[in-house]
A = this chain, B = another copy of it.
Amino acid sequence: MTDEVFGNSNGEITIELPDKFGAKHYLNGSIRTPWTRREDCPKNARESDAVCTIVVDERWAEALTGVETCSHLVVLYWMSRSRRDLVLQVLRHYGVGRGTFALRSPARPNPIAMSVARLLRVEGTRLSVVGLDCLDDTPLLDIKPYFASTDAVPDAVVGWHAARR
């Protein structure tokens, strides 16, 4: 959910970040989407039927073997423009402070976004998918097959969200 975050006011709380990083990631491709401004991005991935294209670096071409048999993929990508020091965030359409780990906001210590995307087709190293919500040219971190047996929990509840409806 790419909810916009208010400036650093309204009860937001930031912290001092650790002085070193602990893990280093390759950027393995990029995600092409119709959205070039944050305010144009869908608020969540199910809000849009837009087809996006995951362009995987040629280096990893063979790693896509078998991906075409998946109906859905777990896509991890890097929200590189996000703040990383927010612990409490105030989302515009709720107005209450929530902890970063209770939110899907891109502003988080490691701004890794996770979306479940429906795979339409694979053409070489280009994957056409529906269900992403990120800015155009977002760096790709990982692609995984989505297993309903372990990843689908249809009766899961986010209490704070259900209560606000």
Chain A residues at the B interface, C-beta cutoff of 8 Å: 1, 13, 15, 17-18, 21-28, 44-46, 56, 59-72, 74, 76, 78, 80, 84, 86-88, 97-104, 108-110, 112, 114-116, 118, 131, 139, 141-161, 163
Contacts and interface: CB of A to CB of B under 8 A. Distances in A.
Contacts of A61: 87
A66 B21 contact: no
A62 B159 contact: no
Nearest to A16: B59
A142 to B, nearest CB: 5
Contact of A141 (B24, B112, B118): B112
Contacts of A27: 22-23
B24 A60 contact: no
Contact of A62 (B88, B109, B155, B158): B88
B145 A112 contact: no
Q: Interface centre among A46, A69, A158, by most B CB within 10 Å? A: A158
B23 A114 contact: no
A143 B102 CA distance: 8
Given A71-B157, A145-B161, A158-B147, A65 B88 contact: yes
Contacts of A153: 71-72, 116, 118, 146, 148, 151-152
A21 B24 CA distance: 6
Nearest to A89: B63
Given A70-B157, A149-B46, A144 B99 contact: no
